[in-house]
Amino acid sequence: MHCFIVFIFLFISLPSCSSNDSAYKNLSIEEIAGRNTDQPIYRAKVPRYWIKKEFPKNESLEDTMKPICEFYIKDDQESIRISIHNFPSNKIEERIPPNAQVARWKSQFEKLDPLSITVIPQAFGGFAGLFFEGTGVLNGQEASMMGWSMQLSIEHYQNLCYAALPCTKHDLKQMRSDYTIKAVGTDRLVKKHKNEIVAFARSFELIHEIPTRS
């Protein structure tokens, strides 16, 4: 009788065991503002030991060559620099295609190992684009680069043009922007932290849900 009571207990309790979905105990949610706005536009899950570089509030970020945010991964004397840029546009036709960004990254290398190049399509968070990875000589030093060049789908872009969100027009324009995430560091370090960087990039999203037409 006792055996069967134990058996019943096990029978009831076993199905309730399930894997825990949550895997982000060492991550924090970082909010990132757009260009020349205090309003956070993006958010991403960032490992707590990454160092975030804040820009002075009085510094203009109008120039799209300036990143909107940077993170650093420090490991002994080496570090990986992760920079995020966005590229606002007034019209959908003004957007820079992701493959042009990838071509620009390739051209930044003085020497690029063709066997190390990976370019694959990516889509997450409402954005679609390309992922680039390559190793070579950058600014006279051996380096690896991982980059994401992403842009909203046409439907999302148009919905954000006319969205009734609690945002200014400037902020809506920031939300519509294309963005790039670029991580540069030594090959050894980038390989070591590759999974983290990929997880960070794939967690990058707009804070506001993109509205849809029903």
Residue 105 found at the interface with other proteins (CB under 8 A): no
| CB 179, min distance to other proteins, A | 13
- What does the DSSP 8-state code read for residue 66? S
Options 75-83, 98-106, 122-130, 135-143: segment touching other proteins (CB under 8 A): 122-130
Residue 71 found at the interface with other proteins (CB under 8 A): no
Among 65, 141, 164, 169, binds other proteins (CB under 8 A): 164
Among 13, 22, 139, 141, binds other proteins (CB under 8 A): 22
Among 33, 41, 80, 152, binds other proteins (CB under 8 A): 152
Comparison of 72 and 124: residue with beta carbon closer to other proteins: 124
Contacts 24+ apart (CB under 8 A), 42-47: 42/84, 42/179, 42/204, 42/205, 42/206, 42/207, 43/204, 43/205, 43/206, 43/207, 44/200, 44/201, 44/203, 44/204, 44/205, 45/199, 45/200, 45/203, 46/71, 46/200, 47/196, 47/200
Among 2, 10, 12, 38, binds other proteins (CB under 8 A): 12
